[in-house]
Amino acid sequence: MNLTFSFEIRVDIAPSIDTHTPRGSGGFVPITGGTVSGPAFNGVVLGAGGDWFHNLDAECCHVDATYLLRSDDGVTVRIHNPGVYVASAAINARLERGEAVPGDAYYFRTTPRFDAPEGRYGWLSRRVFVADARDENGQIVIRVYAVE
Protein backbone atom coordinates (compact mmCIF):
# COMPACT_ATOMS: atom_id res chain seq x y z
CA MET A 1 0.00 0.00 0.00
CA ASN A 2 1.03 3.56 -0.64
CA LEU A 3 -0.26 6.81 0.82
CA THR A 4 -0.97 9.78 -1.45
CA PHE A 5 -1.44 13.22 0.11
CA SER A 6 -4.90 14.48 -0.89
CA PHE A 7 -5.53 17.69 1.07
CA GLU A 8 -5.24 19.49 4.36
CA ILE A 9 -8.27 20.47 6.42
CA ARG A 10 -7.90 23.39 8.87
CA VAL A 11 -10.85 23.24 11.25
CA ASP A 12 -11.95 26.20 13.37
CA ILE A 13 -13.45 25.13 16.69
CA ALA A 14 -15.39 26.67 19.56
CA PRO A 15 -14.66 25.83 23.21
CA SER A 16 -15.57 22.29 24.19
CA ILE A 17 -18.71 21.43 26.09
CA ASP A 18 -17.60 18.89 28.68
CA THR A 19 -19.74 16.03 29.91
CA HIS A 20 -19.38 13.77 32.93
CA THR A 21 -21.57 10.69 33.18
CA PRO A 22 -21.38 7.36 35.01
CA ARG A 23 -19.76 5.99 31.83
CA GLY A 24 -16.94 8.53 32.00
CA SER A 25 -15.99 11.97 30.85
CA GLY A 26 -15.93 13.47 27.41
CA GLY A 27 -17.74 16.15 25.52
CA PHE A 28 -18.47 17.93 22.29
CA VAL A 29 -16.40 20.44 20.30
CA PRO A 30 -18.46 22.57 17.88
CA ILE A 31 -16.91 23.06 14.44
CA THR A 32 -17.37 26.65 13.29
CA GLY A 33 -15.60 26.77 9.92
CA GLY A 34 -12.21 26.40 8.29
CA THR A 35 -10.50 25.71 5.00
CA VAL A 36 -9.54 22.77 2.79
CA SER A 37 -6.57 22.94 0.43
CA GLY A 38 -4.50 20.52 -1.56
CA PRO A 39 -4.02 18.80 -4.86
CA ALA A 40 -7.33 16.87 -4.74
CA PHE A 41 -9.83 19.23 -3.06
CA ASN A 42 -10.07 22.93 -2.23
CA GLY A 43 -12.84 24.67 -0.36
CA VAL A 44 -14.15 25.49 3.08
CA VAL A 45 -15.32 23.74 6.21
CA LEU A 46 -18.92 24.70 6.92
CA GLY A 47 -19.94 25.72 10.43
CA ALA A 48 -22.17 22.66 10.68
CA GLY A 49 -21.08 19.75 12.84
CA GLY A 50 -18.71 18.89 15.57
CA ASP A 51 -16.53 16.39 17.33
CA TRP A 52 -17.78 14.13 20.11
CA PHE A 53 -14.97 12.82 22.30
CA HIS A 54 -14.76 10.21 25.06
CA ASN A 55 -11.83 10.13 27.50
CA LEU A 56 -10.52 6.63 28.06
CA ASP A 57 -8.08 7.84 30.71
CA ALA A 58 -6.02 10.92 31.54
CA GLU A 59 -3.93 10.62 28.36
CA CYS A 60 -6.17 9.02 25.72
CA CYS A 61 -9.47 9.89 24.12
CA HIS A 62 -11.46 8.69 21.16
CA VAL A 63 -12.78 11.39 18.85
CA ASP A 64 -15.70 11.12 16.45
CA ALA A 65 -16.23 14.16 14.24
CA THR A 66 -18.90 14.71 11.59
CA TYR A 67 -19.13 17.90 9.56
CA LEU A 68 -19.47 19.29 6.04
CA LEU A 69 -16.99 20.50 3.43
CA ARG A 70 -17.90 22.66 0.44
CA SER A 71 -15.62 22.67 -2.60
CA ASP A 72 -14.64 25.89 -4.37
CA ASP A 73 -17.05 24.89 -7.14
CA GLY A 74 -20.00 24.51 -4.74
CA VAL A 75 -20.17 20.75 -4.06
CA THR A 76 -21.02 19.74 -0.48
CA VAL A 77 -19.28 16.65 0.94
CA ARG A 78 -19.96 15.04 4.32
CA ILE A 79 -16.98 13.84 6.37
CA HIS A 80 -17.14 11.37 9.25
CA ASN A 81 -13.76 11.33 10.96
CA PRO A 82 -13.19 9.03 13.96
CA GLY A 83 -9.78 8.83 15.56
CA VAL A 84 -7.52 8.46 18.57
CA TYR A 85 -5.70 11.18 20.50
CA VAL A 86 -2.96 10.36 23.04
CA ALA A 87 -0.87 12.94 24.91
CA SER A 88 0.80 13.23 28.27
CA ALA A 89 -0.61 15.51 30.96
CA ALA A 90 2.27 17.92 30.33
CA ILE A 91 1.54 18.15 26.59
CA ASN A 92 -2.19 18.58 27.25
CA ALA A 93 -1.45 21.42 29.70
CA ARG A 94 0.73 23.17 27.11
CA LEU A 95 -1.97 22.86 24.44
CA GLU A 96 -4.65 24.14 26.83
CA ARG A 97 -2.46 27.21 27.52
CA GLY A 98 -2.32 27.84 23.78
CA GLU A 99 1.37 27.01 23.44
CA ALA A 100 2.76 25.76 20.15
CA VAL A 101 3.48 22.05 20.47
CA PRO A 102 5.00 20.06 17.60
CA GLY A 103 2.65 17.46 16.14
CA ASP A 104 5.16 14.68 16.78
CA ALA A 105 4.99 15.33 20.56
CA TYR A 106 1.66 13.49 20.73
CA TYR A 107 -0.36 10.92 18.79
CA PHE A 108 -3.43 12.16 16.89
CA ARG A 109 -4.58 9.95 13.99
CA THR A 110 -7.92 9.65 12.24
CA THR A 111 -9.63 7.61 9.53
CA PRO A 112 -11.82 10.01 7.56
CA ARG A 113 -14.67 8.68 5.45
CA PHE A 114 -16.42 10.86 2.89
CA ASP A 115 -19.93 10.88 1.49
CA ALA A 116 -19.69 12.75 -1.82
CA PRO A 117 -22.13 13.01 -4.72
CA GLU A 118 -21.33 11.32 -8.02
CA GLY A 119 -19.25 13.42 -10.37
CA ARG A 120 -16.00 15.25 -9.81
CA TYR A 121 -15.70 14.25 -6.11
CA GLY A 122 -17.34 10.82 -6.22
CA TRP A 123 -13.92 9.20 -5.85
CA LEU A 124 -13.85 10.41 -2.21
CA SER A 125 -16.60 7.89 -1.39
CA ARG A 126 -14.61 5.10 -3.05
CA ARG A 127 -11.29 5.30 -1.20
CA VAL A 128 -9.93 4.57 2.23
CA PHE A 129 -8.19 7.51 3.90
CA VAL A 130 -5.94 7.98 6.91
CA ALA A 131 -4.89 11.26 8.45
CA ASP A 132 -2.56 12.79 10.96
CA ALA A 133 -3.85 15.68 13.00
CA ARG A 134 -2.46 18.37 15.26
CA ASP A 135 -3.52 21.45 17.16
CA GLU A 136 -2.06 24.59 15.60
CA ASN A 137 -2.91 28.14 16.67
CA GLY A 138 -6.39 27.17 17.87
CA GLN A 139 -7.23 25.16 14.76
CA ILE A 140 -7.21 21.42 14.26
CA VAL A 141 -5.07 20.66 11.22
CA ILE A 142 -5.79 17.33 9.50
CA ARG A 143 -3.56 16.07 6.68
CA VAL A 144 -5.54 13.53 4.67
CA TYR A 145 -3.92 10.70 2.67
CA ALA A 146 -5.59 8.27 0.28
CA VAL A 147 -4.57 4.63 0.77
CA GLU A 148 -3.63 3.37 -2.72
Q: What is the mean pLDDT of residues 116-134?
A: 97
d(CA 120, CA 133): 26
**pLDDT 10s digits, 43-96:** 999 999 999 999 999 899 999 999 999 999 999 999 999 999 999 999 989 988
How many structural domains compose the chain?
A: 1
Q: Distance between alpha carbon 1 and the CA centroid of its chain, in Å?
A: 23
**pTM, full prediction:** 0.94
CATH number at residue 120: 2.40.160.20
Instruction: Give the structural domain span for 80.
Output: 3-147
78: number of Cβ within 10 Å: 17
